[in-house]
Structure 1
Amino acid sequence: YDREAKTFDDAVRSSEYWSGIENMRASLAYGARGDVLEVACGTGRNFSYYDPKKVRTLLAMDACDGMVEEARAKLRTRDGGTTVREAIVTRGDAQRMNVKTGSVDTVVDTFGLCSYEDAVGALREMKRVVKRDGGRVLLLEHGRSEYGWLSNILDHFADAHARRWGCYWNRDILKLIEDAGLEIVEKSTHHLGTTFVIEA
């Protein structure tokens, strides 16, 4: 991802717009409230969608130095930045977070589960840091479809896609969530069941 960081936004902007991903990002981030932790924040593509009336603090982290650099540069810009008053970007790995247990109202992860070495471990960390009473984990992910023929296609091209984008788009998202011990509160799927919007 260090190699991709400077050109990442340009590479995905058009496809995210036409596929509706941009709107899904906006809707997901708009639902965040309180003290928010965004993991695998990338270049900060969600920053402008957080509502400063609902979000008290925003801590955004990514494990990739290049992405952190881009996200920090974007944080306070008019084009893609955030108006949340207390917002910082830091280097951090969702699989091993230096965040206090039960300290976060909302965890946001968009397209992170496909790239973690230990996706279940990352989800368990999200579960650990979120408040037990009313805390939420908001996910926008891509993965295996309920349609076998489509999942077969994803499987066939998974290695090539991973080499290009650093992610495995054929992971079983619902099983990962179940294995992590999270309970799904709300779920919608798009793109023939390959894109998931989840509140847990």
Structure 2
Amino acid sequence: MQPLYGSTSCTVVRTVTHTYRPMRNSYSLLRRVHEGSHLIRRHASSQGPNRSRKPVTKPLPYQPTQPKAADTQQKQYRRNEKAPLSDLMRERWFAMLGFGTALACLGYFTTSLTMYWRTEPAPCYPLGCEPTVPTGRPSIQSPYEFDMHLDKSEWRYGITRLRRELGASVRGHVLEVAIGTGRNFEFYGWDAVTASLLSPEEQRKKTKKQGKSSSDDDAVLSFTGVDISPGMLDIALLRVRQVVPHMSSEIPKKPSFAMLASKYSDDKDGKSHGHVVSLLSDRIRLLQSDVSSGLPSPPAPPSPSNSAPSTSSLPQKYDTIIQTFGLCSVQDPVSLLSTMAASLQPDTGRILLLEHGRSIWSFVNGLLDRGARQHHERFGCWWNRDIEVIVTEASRRIPGLEIVRLERPGWTTAGTHVVVELRVTKQQQGEIDAGKKEKATGWFPSVLSTKQATDESKKSN
């Protein structure tokens, strides 16, 4: 057995031991011990640990299995990447069979679908000749389920961003046609509308913060929303309470339009506009009415005293008329555009539209045509109408109506969504007011609607 510190260290220890007997001076003994320990440390550091001994391996509780010859050959094939085709077929036949079956099924499905689309074209109905009249109201889902369904889909396809951009352009006396559940309310500027609810101190702070450069030209002075569904208006009232500042005390937590509505008095033209909920002295109005029968006039501004406001100060036209996804839900969209143009302030007023319809790609249009009936049964609108053709023909038929902007934003909607901005020139405003008295079917061009010709052919037969 090898000594712990080698032969040199043992020699040093023996020398110190033998020298101790005759030694009488303790100082010399301590010095020799110190030299011996220093010699031991230097000798140990020069040799290092003994690495020649191998660690003792403990026996395993089981006997390891030896690799088979087939496994070794397979690893060798994988390493060289030159395995024969026969061996490859024998080893991976199941995966190749599954992949081939899936590829054959996909090819059969694609071929069958292509042959079906060529032999059975999708039904595309002319405007106004759809088998059922659009209602704009969901029939399968409740209004609350319908509103929750739109939350994620609109964010995913970029519709929320488009609503925000349109809301930033709204100003003056605003009319929103087919408000639905009020999904545009959170993008409007309500500061001027709710200014009467602020205390004098809050008004001074607000004026000081905004500065003298701020004006009411780009602010919303009044808001009027029209829809035909009372269930949608219930959610719109709830959204007004949540979005509009200082309105939580004006509207109950669970509002009901039927309970809050009162009979709206006849307007100057003698037309009744249905039930209405008026808030903040008519600065915010929600009406249940059919827009095909007419649009309400803007509200009168609140007078500072008990004196009645002069007729010249009453607003006769709206500064902004906005509609999102409404032309697909009416039977005569051109007549609706004519009614909106007659209620718009000439030159300075704007009509803002966000619609969905036919795309610029025929493949997408085929998908829209095939799913039009199911979409109408679920949501009550025809989503395969050509909005660009409708707006272009309306600008040609309605005097003074001009297209300021018509674009298809974003690529996530496959070109199916259209943003339109319209205006009315002041010279042709009188002709529009005169044409407003005509029937709604009178605005249908022969290119877009063949309903009258179809009825005449049936009578002749």
Are positions 1:34 and 2:200 aligned together? no
Is 2:297–2:317's contact at 8 Å kept on the other side of the alignment?
Answer: yes
- Of the candidates 238, 244, 252, which is equivalent to residue 82 of structure 1? 244
SS where residue 231 of structure 2 aligns?
helix
Instruction: Judging by fraction of residues, say which structure has more strand.
Output: 1
After the TM superposition, which residues 18-167 of structure 1 pair with which residues of structure 2 at under 5 Å, given as runs?
18-52=156-190, 54-77=219-242, 81-83=243-245, 86-100=283-297, 103-167=317-381
CA change 1:129–1:113 in 2 (3 A) is same
Structure 2 equivalent of residue 183 of structure 1: 402
Tell me the distance in 2 between the aligned counterparts of 1:196 and 1:178: 13
Q: Percent identity?
A: 37
**How much has 1:150 moved relative to structure 2?**
1.3
Structure label with greater radius of gyration:
2
Tell me the distance in 2 between the aligned counterparts of 1:96 and 1:107: 17
**How much has 1:142 moved relative to structure 2?**
0.2
Is 2:138–2:379's contact at 8 Å kept on the other side of the alignment?
Answer: no
CA change 1:62–1:106 in 2 (3 A) is same
Matched to 2:402, the amino acid is E
Is 2:295–2:343's contact at 8 Å kept on the other side of the alignment?
Answer: no
Tell me the distance in 2 between the aligned counterparts of 1:87 and 1:132: 23
Runs in 1 of length 4+ with deviation above 6 angstroms?
none
Tell me the distance in 1 between the aligned counterparts of 2:384 and 2:244: 32
SS where residue 371 of structure 2 aligns?
helix
Q: Which has the higher contact order (CA 8 A, sep 6+)?
A: 1
Tell me the distance in 2 between the aligned counterparts of 1:51 and 1:121: 30
Tell me the distance in 2 between the aligned counterparts of 1:178 and 1:19: 26
CA change 1:31–1:158 in 2 (3 A) is same
SS where residue 76 of structure 1 aligns?
helix
Tell me the distance in 2 between the aligned counterparts of 1:195 and 1:189: 6
SS where residue 184 of structure 1 aligns?
strand
Is 2:295–2:339's contact at 8 Å kept on the other side of the alignment?
Answer: no
Number of paired residues?
197
SS where residue 151 of structure 2 aligns?
helix
Are positions 1:14 and 2:233 aligned together? no
Which moved further from structure 2: 175-184 or 150-159?
175-184
Is 1:109–1:140's contact at 8 Å kept on the other side of the alignment?
Answer: yes
SS where residue 407 of structure 2 aligns?
strand
**How much has 1:26 moved relative to structure 2?**
1.1
Tell me the distance in 1 between the aligned counterparts of 2:393 and 2:291: 17
Tell me the distance in 2 between the aligned counterparts of 1:88 and 1:76: 13
**How much has 1:2 moved relative to structure 2?**
6.5
**How much has 1:73 moved relative to structure 2?**
2.4
